Amino acid sequence: MSKKPGVIRRVFRFIGNVVSAIRYMISLLIVVFFIAVVAGLFVDDIQPMPDRGALYLAPSGDLVDQRSYIDPLAELFSQNSQHDAETLVRDIVDALDQAQYDQRITHILLDTNYMSSASIAKLEEISNAMQRFKQSGKPIIAIGDNFSQAQYFLAAHADEVILNPMGRIMLTGFGAYSSFYKEALDKLKINMHIFRVGKYKSAIEPYLGNGMSPEARQDRRDLIGSLWQYYSSKIEQLRGLPKGAINDLANNMHLRLAEENGDIAALALKQGLVDRIATRSETHAYLKQILPQNNGDFATIPMSAYLGHVKLGLLKAANPHKPEIAVVVASGTILDGNQPEGTVGGDSLAEVFAGIEEDDQVKAVVLRIDSPGGSAFASDVIRDAIAAVRKKDIPVVVSMGSYAASGGYWIATESDRILAQATTITGSIGVYGVIPTFEDSLKALGVYSDGVATTNIAGMLQIDRPMSSETAMIMQSGVEHVYARFLKLVADARNSTPEAVHKIAQGRVWNGEKALQLGLVDELGDLKDAINSAASLAGVSDYNVNYRHKPLSFAEQIMMQISGNMSASVKALGLSSWLPTTLQRHWSAAIKPLRLLDTLNDPNHIYLYCDSCPI
């Protein structure tokens, strides 16, 4: 019999086995990873185009002007749905405009079930495209298990709206509410030092009291009132309802619903909001009757696949030597430095404009602004970069999206023409600064700050010390200087005077229609109109439209490609989530306060931000 190994040998043999097992597991994970990557390369995202069929329009997630950049590795572990978290508005508009003249497309099948949210201005832009499509005489059919206000706005454009009998349409009107923290801050002994110019600049009001000021209340009431008027009158027009019907329904929903014994679907049918009540199976059977057939079912092609076919066709016919209209999107809060897409980085966007400045093929630029503002310093960095492009005799046209206010309007002043939509939120020409100090909070815990300094303002922004009167005067002077500069920029851009601009400024917000009357914009129009305007200013009629993006490093491009292939594989395999939904939701809520801190990065602590914009 062989001799039994010693204890030390057995320990090392065990450790060796563990190391080998770990090595094999890592190797297996790497193999699985690359199999998934390769599999993603062969996932066919573009299905065959039917000879005749319906364009299946099913926007998902939030409707946006620019997709938010998500770290590729983080994206791999956040596949919480087989549907996209964001849908580009221009994709929907392009699909509708192409389908209008495409003989293969016989209907639009609009499914809003996967759409999360959209601002009224984005809905207005899609509305324009849907009304252009309707000129073709092709029917639009809208289906939905339920309709939110945003979803129903799109559905109301349909020739026929079908609602699930267990579904509902809730038209509740618009509200704008904020939380106020003054009492909580007092209890926590946190001192908020506020500096502002403009009695309507309400972004800092939550730190000043327990409710809205009369000026902020009036300003916000006027704004949401005008937006609700647009929404309700548009629905009434599209559905052939009497004037005031939508407002009456919202105010008397409780009474109308009681008359229908709580059946919201029946109420929607009775009020003329929908044309048919049908379960999913009944809806499917009905669609089989009215839509073109394909292999025993009705023929459809998803929007993404349809756009793939369209782009392939355009690519084959494209002339790369034609003049170019560059479209630059500034979407999100304006922050200092380099920032990912989905926010507006001062340095990032300036770099994009620097590239345009050196490109001889670019004959005009359209700057699409969808921002409530942010850092004053970053806003001026962007404005300066746009000015350098205009000095090259390249016209710049601004297209305002959901909002282009405060810092968003600051960068719009450097342009040859400004177009806004009727429901765009703009203005908010005002400035504020806010710096918290925690000396009283720390004192309550027995923590004190002491030391020596060479001047009265040394350590002026230390949050563990009281703010000196000298520091407060410096901050207020800075805020007033930036406001005076803001007024002059607007006055020079709009052929006015700082005194005249001040009367409509002071942080007040306006919708696009009112902004046109006040001379803050030149005309009403969407992105398509802005591109046409830019081409006209440049004197070109045959041109390519090129969307410019923040340059990515080689490593970022590789990782995004891998992430995209992995995502395609996950969807193809029918896997909807790598992490439990509950865990994702709690994780997102946990880091939300950290995300909010990211907006406070102006080097001078001076902000051009419109808190009324994301309504």
Cα angle: 432, vertex 400, 236; to 5 degrees: 110
Rounded Cα distance, 351 and 331, in Å: 16
Buried b (16+ CB within 10 A) or exposed e, 145-177: ebbbbbbbbbbbbbeebbbbeebbbebebbebe
Residues 6+ apart with CB under 8 A from 126: 63, 89, 92, 93, 96, 154
| Marked catalytic residue, from 60, 127, 232, 406 | 406
Residue 100 in tokens: 């209008």
Helix axes 7-41, 554-572, angle to 10 degrees: 90
Kindly state the tokens that stand for 510: 């306006």
Q: How far apart are CA 115 and CA 328, in angstroms?
A: 25
Find residue 608's DSSP bridge partners: 374
Question: How does DSSP classify residue 118?
Answer: -
* Kind plus residue range of the DSSP H or E element containing 369: strand 362-371
- In the set 60, 122, 127, 201, the catalytic residue is 201
| HSE-up (13 A, CA, CB side) for residue 37 | 13
What is the length of the chain?
Answer: 615
Residue in this structure with the two tokens 């549907």, named with its chain if needed: 83
Q: Is 406 a catalytic residue?
A: yes
Quote the tokens at residue 149.
Answer: 């206000």
Is residue 201 part of the annotated active site? The answer reads: yes
Residue 410 CB coordination number (10 Å): 29
Quote the tokens at residue 588: 């997102």
Tokens of 323: 């003049």
Please report, as a single letter, which amino acid is at residue 183.
E
The residues annotated with a catalytic role in the active site are 201, 406
